Chains A and B, each alone.
Chain A
Amino acid sequence: MQRKMHFKKATGDRLFWLMLILPALAIVTAFILIPIADSVRMSFTEYKMKNILRGTPATWNSFENYIKLFRNKQFLPTIYRTFGFVVLVVLSQFLLGMILALILNSNVRGARLIRSVMMMPWVVPTVISALIWLWIFQSQYGLFKYLVNVFSFGRVTDFAMLNNTRFALAGIGIAALWKQIPLTTLLLLAGLQNVPDDMLEAATIDGAGYFTRLFRIVIPYMRSVIQVILTMAIIENFKQFPLIWTMTGGGPSNSTTTLAVMSYREAFVSQNLGSGAAVTTIWMLLMIVVVWVFRKCMKRQEIE
């Protein structure tokens, strides 16, 4: 429109913009950004629960929290375990979600009904899904023990998933998959619907088989959706806490202790906030690096 109007409008727009974003900015700053910065600062100090009770301030302790952490023999295994958990759960989640989405997208009878019913685990609160799986994996009367017994034809009679240091983390992984597959499937399904039909038809006429079409057309078309889904899944599983805490509390003998459990334990069970903050600081750095590397990888693929 007219120039003069435009200038006036632009200043007004800017003020209006500021007013609109202010509440969001304020709450995110006060309850996320400041606390994060504050906890990084805390990680360099001697700060325990009793400091809060007595009102004594934190004191600089020249990296002692970090030094102690790296001397702790449990620390590196905990990092590996966290990575292992994230990688395995995210990959299986993607694979199974993709299979389910492809099936639901292929003119299956009742696909709409199935799509809405399969979302149910997603709305189950995390602590309750922990309860459900705790009951299924229960060591004496659990359903899973019975199923293992039946399918191994009576050879394995005493299988206790969560009491076994080798399998406990897998048990938690199964519960995580159960809760997370529905949303992954739903989003992949939405992505699948954006793949142009005529291109698939043309490829079929050219004699391309199912898997050729899948890897050459469908997946490349869904790249951006897949990237978002994987990023979300990586972050979510990196942060996973309530499931592990409720199901095993990090045991047996630390076999399910991830960085989330370790930091919680340090800060709120051992009541050493400074040391807990050191764990979360390293955890955050690792997460940022992982997400960054992942994005870089996806980008490079895009260029190729």
Chain B
Amino acid sequence: MKRKTASRLASAGKYLLLLLLLLFLLFPLYWMLITSFKTNLESYLYPPTFWPKDFTVESYIKLFTENNLFFVYYKNNFIVSGAVALITLLISCMAGYALSRLHVKFNPALVALLTASQMFPVVSRLISLYSLLQSVDLINTFPGLILAITAAQVAFSTMLMSSFFDSVPVSIEDAASVDGAGRFRTMFTISLPLVKGGLLAVGIYSFLMAWDDFLHAAILIQSDELRTLSVGISARYLGELSYDWSLVNTISIIGILPMLLLFFFFQKYMVKGLVAGAVKG
């Protein structure tokens, strides 16, 4: 009898903890969502309302119709993140293949170098990049920004790709090379199709990281119409005394949306990739 009550208590405690943790993780998102559907006046109500009294899409209409740069930042963010994802994919695919398939004695040194490169603070790099990129006319341009962000993604993505290539049996390639296929052809036509999941994971991961970038763009981009989302939002919608909180939350929703969709559609690959990267890397 005693044991039964004890295990029931433990189970109740477990669900209570789960509930609290989930509340902490999910309630802020709910709060953002409902604030975006409140009128700005209602968002300033205290005590706050937990469901909008006048459910309205006012802020969304305002965001979409008012002449502002939000969608310029948004488009820029897509361009920059997309380019970062593609370039990272290409570079890390090649390097990852080399690490996984070709057993050259410099491999451990390369891994150490890549791992170390992830540790350096971004500010430290930017202090120097600011003047270096100036001298090659890449400051305040997309190519400069894209390459700087890509460099920060290459290390993790390469490890990830190499762990995906590791999971493809070498015997398949040996068969191809016996058939006389060259190294490049073996890589592109035999191995690459077998790591599609890895390609998706790396592509989405680097897209996500680039979408999140704030620091690189804050320093390397100066003109307003080239700004990306994070910097644009914090420069334009914050720091003014009169906040329109309903609008700020609407902006947040629109800013998160592509990431959420991407994550939910490709969750399977993402989860697998992240786990492979962390457990192996």
A contact residues vs B (CB 8 Å cutoff):
12-14, 16-17, 19-21, 23-25, 27-28, 30-36, 38-39, 42, 52, 96, 99-100, 103-104, 106, 108, 114, 116-121, 123-128, 131-136, 138, 140-143, 145-146, 149, 178, 181-183, 186-187, 190-191, 224-225, 228-229, 232, 235, 238-239, 241-242, 245-246, 260, 263-264, 267-268, 273, 276-277, 280-281, 283-284, 287-288, 291
Q: Are A23 and B14 closer than 8 Å at their CB atoms?
A: no
Q: Are A127 and B32 closer than 8 Å at their CB atoms?
A: no
Q: Are B29 and A123 closer than 8 Å at their CB atoms?
A: no
Which of the candidate stretches B52-60, B64-72, B255-263 sits at the interface with the other chain?
B255-263
Measured between beta carbons, the chain A residues less than 8 angstroms from B151 are 27-28, 30-32
Q: Are A28 and B114 closer than 8 Å at their CB atoms?
A: yes
20 A-B pairs besides A20-B95, A187-B278 with CB distance below 8 A are A21-B94, A21-B98, A23-B90, A23-B95, A27-B154, A99-B17, A103-B18, A106-B14, A108-B14, A108-B18, A120-B260, A121-B29, A128-B252, A132-B28, A182-B25, A187-B279, A242-B214, A246-B238, A276-B123, A284-B121
Measured between beta carbons, the chain B residues less than 8 angstroms from A124 are 29, 256, 259
- Which parts of B227-281 form the interface with A (CB within 8 Å)? 229-230, 233-234, 238, 245, 248-249, 251-252, 255-256, 259-260, 262-264, 267, 271, 274-275, 278-279, 281
Q: Are A280 and B124 closer than 8 Å at their CB atoms?
A: yes
How far in angstroms is the closest Cβ of chain B from A298?
15
Q: Are B256 and A17 closer than 8 Å at their CB atoms?
A: no
> Given A24-B92, A38-B132, A123-B256: A146 and B46 within 8 A (CB)?
yes
Measured between beta carbons, the chain A residues less than 8 angstroms from B147 are 27, 30-31
Q: Are B95 and A280 closer than 8 Å at their CB atoms?
A: no
Q: Are B248 and A135 closer than 8 Å at their CB atoms?
A: yes
Q: Are B122 and A239 closer than 8 Å at their CB atoms?
A: yes
Measured between beta carbons, the chain A residues less than 8 angstroms from B238 are 131, 134, 246
Measured between beta carbons, the chain B residues less than 8 angstroms from A241 are 122-123, 214-215
Q: Are B212 and A280 closer than 8 Å at their CB atoms?
A: no
Across the interface, name the chain B residue whose C-beta is closest to A38. B128
B contact residues vs A (CB 8 Å cutoff):
14-15, 17-18, 21-22, 24-26, 28-29, 31-32, 35, 43-48, 90-92, 94-95, 97-99, 102, 104, 110, 113-114, 117-132, 134, 147-148, 150-152, 154-155, 158, 183, 208, 211-212, 214-215, 219, 229-230, 233-234, 238, 245, 248-249, 251-252, 255-256, 259-260, 262-264, 267, 271, 274-275, 278-279, 281
Contact of A31 among B22, B148, B230 (CB under 8 A): B148
Q: How far is the CA of A204 from the CA of B91 in the complex (A)?
A: 49
Contact of A24 among B91, B122, B256 (CB under 8 A): B91
Measured between beta carbons, the chain B residues less than 8 angstroms from A38 are 128, 132
B interface secondary structure, majority: helix
How far in angstroms is the closest Cβ of chain B from A30?
7
Q: How far is the CA of A283 from the CA of B127 in the complex (A)?
A: 14
Contact of B104 among A13, A23, A127, A235 (CB under 8 A): A13
Q: Are B26 and A135 closer than 8 Å at their CB atoms?
A: no
Q: Are A228 and B28 closer than 8 Å at their CB atoms?
A: no
Measured between beta carbons, the chain A residues less than 8 angstroms from B233 are 127-128, 131
Across the interface, name the chain A residue whose C-beta is closest to B248. A131
Contact of B14 among A21, A103, A238 (CB under 8 A): A103
Across the interface, name the chain A residue whose C-beta is closest to B123. A263
> Given A125-B259, A141-B44, A143-B48: A284 and B124 within 8 A (CB)?
yes
Q: How far is the CA of A232 from the CA of B92 in the complex (A)?
A: 20
> Given A24-B92, A24-B158, A35-B129: A280 and B123 within 8 A (CB)?
yes
Contact of A33 among B117, B183, B249, B260 (CB under 8 A): B117
Q: How far is the CA of A267 from the CA of B150 in the complex (A)?
A: 23
Measured between beta carbons, the chain A residues less than 8 angstroms from B211 are 125
Across the interface, name the chain A residue whose C-beta is closest to B29. A120
Measured between beta carbons, the chain B residues less than 8 angstroms from A13 are 102, 104
8 smallest beta-carbon distances between A and B, as pairs: A31-B151, A280-B124, A24-B95, A20-B98, A38-B128, A35-B128, A127-B230, A242-B214
Q: How far is the CA of A131 from the CA of B279 in the complex (A)?
A: 32
Contact of B132 among A35, A190, A287 (CB under 8 A): A35
Across the interface, name the chain A residue whose C-beta is closest to B229. A125
Q: Are B94 and A36 closer than 8 Å at their CB atoms?
A: no
Q: How far is the CA of A143 from the CA of B29 in the complex (A)?
A: 13
Q: Are B154 and A28 closer than 8 Å at their CB atoms?
A: yes
